[in-house]
């Protein structure tokens, strides 16, 4: 059987693409090496920050505004609590990227926000102990998404719209010809008019011919049991904190019950790996380093680690995404290199990929994500 579109990879981006394509009446085949909403890549760990005051680049804000609309639609259509607004606190020296970049994006796009000085942070959020002279931008429209629920919601809606989704089926290779594409897997060979590739950490293997420089890094997530219990962390904002050296940590409210701990992590403190070589063991020294760093800001989090996990970032050199049609093929669209800050965009990336596969273009601003910026000639 031929399909209109084959989607390779059904994690965050691929599941959203499969849904948006199927909802437009496309005959969709989705292929995934692992189980639905698996924990082997980058779309797991219970929570992902969502925010609009985007310190990475104000150019992302229009996509975030649309993503928020689609988060609402996904929650309504699926009946799942795929996201929650908690407010977000972005803390550090006034001139650091986390604070100054968030303020720049907020002002450029007229996003509601507040700036708190050190005393204001302590008074409003008594769990926090900012360093002398630090400030924070508070964004009420920040919060977190549930990655596993989000992926499963998109998969369920895709199937409800007629998509065929096959799991435990590894893609071996794909080829492009004048009439469309052919994908060969461990279970069979399939043809389609269009191919959408969402490979996550497997991008270097599946997209070798693109010559897109992507580095895969191991990242660690920690759930710490607060001294005195989780209750003070239940009604709590997500946060990103940057110290004077530029090192960032981030964290969440206590969302997993009294014994579930509070999730925290370093941002972009990884070790280069591949999906085959990643060390899935979290070591005592890593836990100790995390506890010491986060306790500077939140003293109550100097408690035992009740859970830990690893995931992978797929980083481009400039830490911007890759979302584009294949430069040499009208049949292939690629989404990869989300560099540790892509999950909040999952719904709108799905919409963009459907646009590109169906019509070859999108009205969304994606010039920043053109892979040709990364390829040296």
**Any idea which of 82-96, 140-154, 198-212, 358-372 has the lowest mean pLDDT?**
198-212
Average pLDDT, the chain: 95
Whether pLDDT at 75 is above 60: yes
Kindly compute the dihedral angle of the four CA atoms of residues 280, 285, 291, 297, in this order, to the nearest 10 degrees.
-110
pLDDT digits (tens, 9 = 90+) for 112-170: 999 999 999 999 999 999 999 999 999 999 999 999 999 999 999 999 999 999 999 99
Catalogue the E-assigned strands of 198-344: 215-224, 238-242, 248-251, 262-267, 271-272, 305-315, 322-325, 332-336
pLDDT at 1: 54
User: For the chain, which residues make up each domain, given as ranges?
Assistant: 3-44+148-214+318-373, 88-140+215-315
pLDDT digits (tens, 9 = 90+) for 226-256: 999 999 999 999 999 999 999 999 999 999 9
Whether pLDDT at 7 is above 90: yes
pLDDT digits (tens, 9 = 90+) for 269-308: 889 999 999 999 999 999 999 999 999 999 999 999 999 9
Per-residue pLDDT band for 377 (boundaries 50, 70, 90) equals low
In angstroms, the CA 342 to CA 313 distance is 10
Torsions phi, psi for 119 (to 5 deg): -65, -35
Nearest to 212 by CA among 79, 373, 354: 373
The two most distant CA atoms of the chain are separated, in Å, by: 65
In angstroms, the CA 52 to CA 137 distance is 12
pLDDT at 208: 79
In angstroms, the CA 112 to CA 70 distance is 20
Name the pTM for this structure: 0.96
Q: Which two tokens stand for residue 343?
A: 């999950």
May I ask the CATH architecture of the domain 88-140+215-315? 2-Layer Sandwich (3.30)
pLDDT at 69: 98
**CA 328 to each of CA 14, 177, 207, 325: distance values in angstroms, whole numbers, following the listed order:** 22, 11, 13, 8
Per-residue pLDDT band for 79 (boundaries 50, 70, 90) equals very high
Per-residue pLDDT band for 29 (boundaries 50, 70, 90) equals very high
pLDDT at 34: 94
The percent of residues in the chain predicted with pLDDT above 90, rounded, is 89
Residue range 3-44+148-214+318-373, CATH number: 3.50.50.60
pLDDT digits (tens, 9 = 90+) for 35-54: 998 888 888 899 999 999 99
pLDDT at 224: 98
């Amino acid at each position: 059987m031929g399909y209109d579109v084959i989607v390779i990879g059904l994690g965050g981006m691929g599941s959203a693409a499969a849904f948006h394509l199927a909802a437009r009446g496309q005959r969709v085949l989705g292929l995934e090496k692992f189980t639905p909403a698996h924990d082997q890549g980058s779309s797991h760990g219970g929570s992902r920050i969502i925010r609009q005051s985007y310190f990475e680049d104000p150019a992302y804000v229009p996509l975030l505004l649309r993503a928020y609309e689609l988060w609402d639609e996904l929650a309504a259509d699926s009946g799942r609590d795929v996201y929650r607004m908690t407010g977000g606190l972005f803390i550090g020296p006034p001139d650091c990227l986390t604070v100054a970049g968030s303020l720049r994006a907020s002002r450029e796009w007229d996003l509601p926000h507040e700036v708190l000085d050190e005393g204001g942070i302590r008074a409003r959020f008594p769990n926090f102990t900012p360093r002398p002279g630090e400030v924070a931008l508070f964004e009420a429209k920040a919060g977190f998404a549930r990655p596993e629920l989000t992926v499963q919601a998109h998969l369920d809606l895709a199937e409800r719209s007629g998509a065929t989704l096959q799991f435990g089926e590894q893609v071996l290779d794909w080829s492009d010809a004048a009439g469309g594409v052919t994908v060969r897997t461990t279970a069979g060979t399939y043809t389609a008019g269009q191919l959408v590739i969402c490979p996550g950490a497997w991008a270097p293997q599946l997209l070798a011919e693109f010559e897109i420089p992507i580095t895969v890094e191991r990242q660690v997530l920690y759930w710490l049991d607060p001294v005195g219990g989780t209750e003070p962390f239940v009604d709590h904002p997500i946060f990103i904190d940057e110290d004077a050296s530029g090192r960032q940590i981030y964290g969440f409210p206590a969302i997993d019950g009294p014994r579930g701990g509070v999730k925290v992590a370093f941002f972009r403190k990884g070790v280069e790996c591949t999906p085959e070589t990643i060390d899935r063991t979290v070591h005592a020294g890593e836990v100790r380093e995390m506890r010491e760093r986060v306790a500077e800001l939140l003293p109550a989090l100097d408690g035992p680690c009740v859970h830990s996990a690893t995931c992978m970032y797929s980083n481009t050199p400039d830490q911007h995404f890759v979302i584009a049609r294949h430069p040499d093929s009208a049949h292939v669209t690629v989404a990869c290199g989300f560099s540790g800050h892509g999950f909040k965009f999952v719904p709108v990336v799905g919409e963009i990929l459907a646009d590109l596969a169906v019509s070859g273009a999108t009205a969304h601003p994606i010039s920043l994500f053109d892979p040709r910026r990364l390829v040296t000639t």
